Amino acid sequence: MTPLDDAPDGTDAPPTCSAKGCRDAAVWVLAWNNPKLHTPERRKTWLACAEHREHLSQFLGVRGFLKDVVKLDEWVQPEGSERV
């Protein structure tokens, strides 16, 4: 089981969007890292619904943090990555 399989409340609820206040089902994984804090291979993840994918991608992108955007059902979590 990966962190993307675990709902925050410990149930088997589907993963939800990471945007503040959004409880919609996640469709996308946004893999990122902060090069000032993380090793280059480390990936942290945010999840996004269709509506918030672009906004969250831009937020991470302008900071130089965004590394990849992948459909949730195609995501393979690298060793050492985590969902935040």
Structure tokens at 48: 């996004």
Structure tokens at 9: 């409340």
Beta strands in 1-84 (DSSP E): 28-32, 44-48, 66-71, 82-83
Give the chain's mean pLDDT: 85
Q: Tens of pLDDT along 32-52? A: 999 999 888 899 999 999 999
Q: Tens of pLDDT along 51-84? A: 999 999 999 999 999 999 999 999 987 776 666 5
Phi, psi of 49 (to 5 degrees): -80, 175
pTM above 0.85, yes or no: no
